[in-house]
Amino acid sequence: MSAFSGWFLHSFVVGALACAAVWICPRGWRSRVRQAVPVVAFAALMLLAIGLVRPLPRVEVQAPAALAKWSETAPDALWLTWLWFAGFAVCGARLLVESVAVRRLLKNTQPLPGRAWLQLLAECQRTLGLRGNVRLRLAGPGFVPSAAGLLQRTVLLPDESRKWTHEQRRLVLLHELGHFRRGDLWAHMLGRLACAVHWFNPFAWLLQSQLAVEREFACDELVVSRGAAPDDYATLLFEMATASRHRPSVAAAFLTMASPRTGKLEARVRRILTPLGRAGKFARLFDTTACAAAALALLACVACKPVAHLLPQAGVWTAGEIQTRLAADPFPGEQ
């Protein structure tokens, strides 16, 4: 079996299992599972990519005869390698262009004047328990509030933010700082890399889309739990979604606060106006157990190699029996 054929098979299996785990989990319930499974799946997919360069240890497991037979006899097609490389080159070039554009945009932003903003930023960081330096920058008129920067964390704001009320400023900062607290930008980058490497796998793209929705749900819940009025916050989201029509072409590299296309705004508003009850200890324990089980299952798929286990049929010698008979001493009369 060629390396790429086996890699494609494992990629589809990992992605399909992760999507099944997310879809089986009821919407609006067990949100931690729906957020953790895609991240673990992306990590597993990147481990598969590393396995192409440096083989990983594998454990042979029994599999259906048809799957194992295909796994052993899949052709080593050179065109398959070139096809993957072409797709990866396109996706990789897109990531590179977006990264350069983001750096250029951040370089052209202006610091947000006023001590009131800095005091409010420090207050919101204390509220969320977020440490470290976070910059506030003006990105131009009509820009949607966004979180950017893996190492140099930055909250990008529109020029209109100077006229916002104190409460509007607080809600926006809580939402964007929530992304930093949860590590969403790192998960977002991991998903983008996994989708670039596994561009042929539709399950990877579905997981990336699902994760984008779930992280916005989580930050919305975080803002409401810190005392925000649901009606006011929902109204603010609609205002931001209207401004999102002016998003830059590299918006995929940011985590924008509101977008009618990628954020499923109506679903978010319904979740805000009809919040779920707080999970108890048993529910949180179940979430942790389910996340751990899903992680182990996905990582096990990476380490497993399917092999056939065929039962010997009457009158038919197995491969082991044939080797034993060939290695046996000849009969005395045939010497």
Q: Is residue 329 part of a domain?
A: no
Q: What is the crossing angle of helices 31-53 and 281-303, to 10°?
A: 20
Q: Specify the higher pLDDT residue, 136 or 279.
A: 136
Asked whether residue 141 carries a pLDDT value surpassing 70, the answer given is yes
Both 242 and 295 in one domain: the answer is: no
- Residue 248 pLDDT: 54
pLDDT band at 154 (very low <50, low <70, confident <90, very high): very high
Say if 281 falls within a structural domain.
Answer: yes
Do 104 and 178 fall within a single domain? yes
Backbone angles phi, psi at 194, to 5 degrees: -65, -40
Residues 82 and 204 in one domain: yes
**Mean pLDDT comparison of 131-140, 257-266, 270-279, highest-scoring range:** 131-140
- Give the separation between CA 73 and CA 76, rounded to whole angstroms: 9
Q: Name 23's Cβ contacts closer than 8 Å, sequence gap at least 6.
A: none
pLDDT at res. 176: 94
Q: 281 and 163, same structural domain?
A: no
Taking the C-alpha atoms of residue 185 and residue 191, their distance in angstroms, rounded to an integer, is 10
* Residue 29 domain boundaries: 1-76+277-309
Assess whether 176 and 189 both reside in one domain: yes
Average pLDDT over residues 280-292: 66
- Predicted confidence at residue 1, as pLDDT, reads 46
pLDDT score for 117: 92
Whether the predicted pLDDT of 69 surpasses 60: no
Per-residue confidence (pLDDT) for residue 320, from 0 to 100 = 64
Check whether residue 230 and residue 212 sit in a common domain: yes
Q: For residue 9, what are the contacts with CB-CB under 8 A and spacing of at least 6?
A: 71, 74
Tell me: pLDDT of 169 over 50.
yes
Pair (4, 81) in one structural domain: no
CATH of the domain at 259: 3.30.2010.10
Are the beta carbons of 158 and 139 closer than 8 angstroms? yes
Residues 112 and 152 grouped into a single domain: yes
Number of independent structural domains in the chain? 2
User: Is a pLDDT exceeding 80 seen at residue 129?
Assistant: yes
Residue 156, classified by CB atoms within 10 Å of its CB into exposed (0-12), middle (13-18) or buried (19+), is buried
Give residues with Cβ within 8 angstroms of 121, minimum separation 6: 134, 136, 173
- HEC sequence for 251-283: HHHCEECCCCCCCCHHHHHHHHHCCCCCCCHHH
Q: How far apart are the first and last CA of the chain?
A: 41
Top pLDDT among 262 and 134 is at: 134
User: C-alpha 224: how far from its chain's center?
Assistant: 24
State whether 19 and 83 are in the same domain. Answer: no
Predicted local distance difference test score (pLDDT) of residue 227: 86
pLDDT tens profile 41-59: 999 899 888 876 666 555 5
Residue ending a domain, choose from 227, 260, 276: 276
Residues 217 and 305 in one domain: no
What are the Cα distances from residue 222, in Å, to 128, 171, 180, 215?
9, 10, 12, 10
> Do 217 and 119 have their domain in common?
yes
pLDDT band at 99 (very low <50, low <70, confident <90, very high): confident
Mean pLDDT (the chain) is 79
- Which of 276, 301, 330 represents a domain boundary (last residue)? 276
| 320 belongs to a structural domain | no
- What does the pLDDT read at residue 26? 61
Mean pLDDT of the region 146-174: 91
Mean pLDDT of 73-93: 80
Cα(324)–Cα(78) distance, integer angstroms: 37
- Over residues 255-284, the mean pLDDT reads 70
Q: Does residue 189 sit in the same domain as residue 236?
A: yes
